[in-house]
Amino acid sequence: MIDLSLTDEQTAFRDALRKFAQKEIAPLVEECEDKAEYPRAIFQKMAEPGYLGARFPVEFGGSGGDTMFSVIMSEELAYVSPGIYLGVYVHLYLALSAILFFGKEEQKQKYLVPGIKGDLISAWAFAEPSAGSDPGSMTTRAHRDGDDFVINGTKMFITNGTFADFVVVTAVTDPSLGMKGISLFIVDRDTPGFSVSRKLKKMGMKASEAAELVFEDCRVPATNMLGREHTGFLAAMGTLTEGRIVAAAFAVGMARAAHDAALAYAKIRPQFGQPIGKFQGLQWMLADMATQIEAAKLLTYQAAWLASRGAPHIKEASMAKLFATETATQVCAQAVQIHGGYGFMDEYPVSRFYRDCKLLEIGEGTSQIHRNTIAKTLGL
C-alpha cells in the first residue's frame, strides 16, 4: 500500500529548507534576475547545513536520503526562485548523480565529494545545436588516442556552463552504433581545447546562467570516462529518470508559488466594490488551479515513493513530469490573468513565473517525448 505522507525526518527537512530559502535565497532573487547572474556562493551556503548531500550516501559526505528528500528540496527551493534552484538542480541531480551511479571510486572522491561540499560546481552537457530529443543526431565525437580520448563538438543550453569547475559530457565514441555508441566523460574547466563560446540570453530562468560549450581537440584521460565505453546513453537515461521526478517537483513548487501569489492578490484587489476573489469566476479559476497542483503533487510523490523503494517507475516518472510541468504552465498563465494588467508588469512575481515555467516542458524530455514513453508502457 502506498503511503505518501512525510516522515518526521522529512517534515523537519522541509521546514528547515523553507527557513533557509527565505533567509538565503529570497533576498537574492531580484538582483540575480535583473543582472542575469547566478549567485555561486549559494552552493557553499547549501553545503554547510548538509543540503547538497541530502540525497547522497554517507560515505561520500551525504546524509543517505532517498528520492523523497530530492523531491522535497526541489519543491521548496523552486517555490522561492526557479532560476536559482535550476543551477542547484543541474549540479545535484544530473552531473553529480551521474558520477554517483556510474563513476569509479577515484572519480567519486575527486568530483562527487567536493561537489557535495560545494567546493566544486558541475554542469551537464547533453544537448547540442542540432540534437536534443534525438540523441542519435549527436555530433560531438570522442576518439581514443593512446591513454586519452580527444573530444570535438559543441554543446548548447548548458546550465552552469559559464562557471562550472567540471562538466559531464556525452560524446559519440562509435558512430556505427547510433545511440548505443554514446559515452560519458568528465571534462575539467581548465582542460586545453575546452571553452565557453558564449553566455546565452534566455526568455526566463534569468537567475541561472546557460552557455554554449565548444570542444576543439579537447584531450581528456581515459580515466575520465564515466562507466563503460558505449554505455553513455543508457547511463544518461538512468540519470534522467530520477531527474524527471525531481523536475516534476520543481514544477509543483513553481505552480504553488504562482497560485499563492494569485490567491493573495485576489483577496486584496478591489473591483466593483469588493475584492475580486469574491467573484465566482475567479473562485473557480483558483479552485481549478489548486486541484491541478494537488494532482501533480500526488503523481510526483507516487513516482518518488516507487523510486525510493527500487520499484519500476519509468511510466510514473514520465506521467509526473508531463502532468506537473504542463500544470505549472497552466497555473502560471492563470495567475497572470488574475493579476490583470499588473500580471504583465515585472514588479509582480507572476510575470517571472510565467517566463520561467515553459522551460520545464522542454528540459528533461519534452512533453511529447514523455507521451511517447507512456504510450510504450501501454503496449502501443
The type of residue at 301 is Y
CA 259/CA 112 separation, integer angstroms = 36
* Predicted pLDDT at 239: 57
The reported pLDDT for the residue numbered 234 is 65
Mean pLDDT by 10 residues, the chain (380 residues): 85 97 97 97 97 96 94 97 97 94 95 98 94 81 96 97 97 88 95 97 96 98 90 61 91 98 98 96 98 98 93 94 98 98 95 96 91 94
Distances (CA, A) of 256 to 259, 278, 287: 5, 21, 13
DSSP state of 5: P
Q: Using CA atoms, how far apart are residues 268 and 288, in angstroms rounded to an integer?
A: 20
Q: Is 216 a catalytic residue?
A: no
Give the pTM.
0.94
CB atoms within 10 A of CB 256: 22
Look at residue 232 in the predicted model and tell me its pLDDT.
57
In this prediction, residue 235 carries a pLDDT of: 57
Q: What is the pLDDT of residue 345?
A: 94
Amino acid at 103: G
Quick one: how many helices (H) and strands (E) in the chain?
14, 10
Upper half-sphere CA count for residue 372 (Cβ side, 13 Å): 7
SS3 242: helix
pLDDT at residue 180 in the model? 82
Pairing of strands 210-221, 148-159: antiparallel
- Contacts of 352-355 with C-beta under 8 Å, sequence gap 24+, read 352/33, 352/82, 352/204, 353/82, 353/254, 353/257, 353/258, 353/261, 354/204, 354/258, 355/203, 355/204, 355/205, 355/206
**All domains in the chain, ordered by first residue:** 8-120 (1.10.540.10), 124-228 (2.40.110.10), 233-377 (1.20.140.10)
Alpha-carbon span 306 to 27, nearest angstrom: 36
Q: Which of 24, 316, 326, 364 is catalytic?
A: 364
